[in-house]
Structure 1
């Protein structure tokens, strides 16, 4: 709800700015069923997943979701804690090891964002940009 509220505020502000070039819409879906129904009725976009993996079936549902999203041209970002080793399949992953960046992650050693998307030049450009941004982020975090 907090994330949805932030996006709604951003969307309202963006609509009033004439120079804002892209249309951003935030859709909140409840669980896998909600996300699957959204994929079936919407044009491709960017899908952020915060997978709970509360029950073993969630891992299989996440794999199906990623495959269906790819087939429909969506780019999917899935975050997870690196200690959990819970990414549902082999994905391009950008990791942040907390100690390497001078951060204290408590019981967690690091976090990662995994990417999935259609095979395209656009997706490859996104991955290249993310590699550069990840390196910049780690350098910035190391500064005292």
Structure 2
């Protein structure tokens, strides 16, 4: 046999082997369709709003006790109006939450808070403890994870 005949035979064998492997892969995939898990409900694209739906709903839930001034689900911004705790009427807070990604991730959430105290009948800006903002972020993220878990388990 010449070298070209051997090369042609080797090429045919490789092609047949590839076809057999491809056919087996398709058969296995077709059999596995019944056992495939449902789509990941936390995926970025499973939403009709511009940001992660779990973070959005968790933020609205966490801030539900405060009056809302502005909500933009496409831009991912929630701004509350000033809120004064009835137990401490001489102090009020305002919160702005920005959701900057479609994925459920900690860095997709930005929380900013402003605080004012009443002095001589006027509201004066006061510092907000970093732990307060961190705690609010943790609450929102925990609620978002819980919502995702509940949606996946059905």
Report the TM-score, using the length of structure 1 for normalisation. Answer: 0.28
Bigger fraction of residues in strand:
2
Report the TM-score, using the length of structure 2 for normalisation. Answer: 0.27
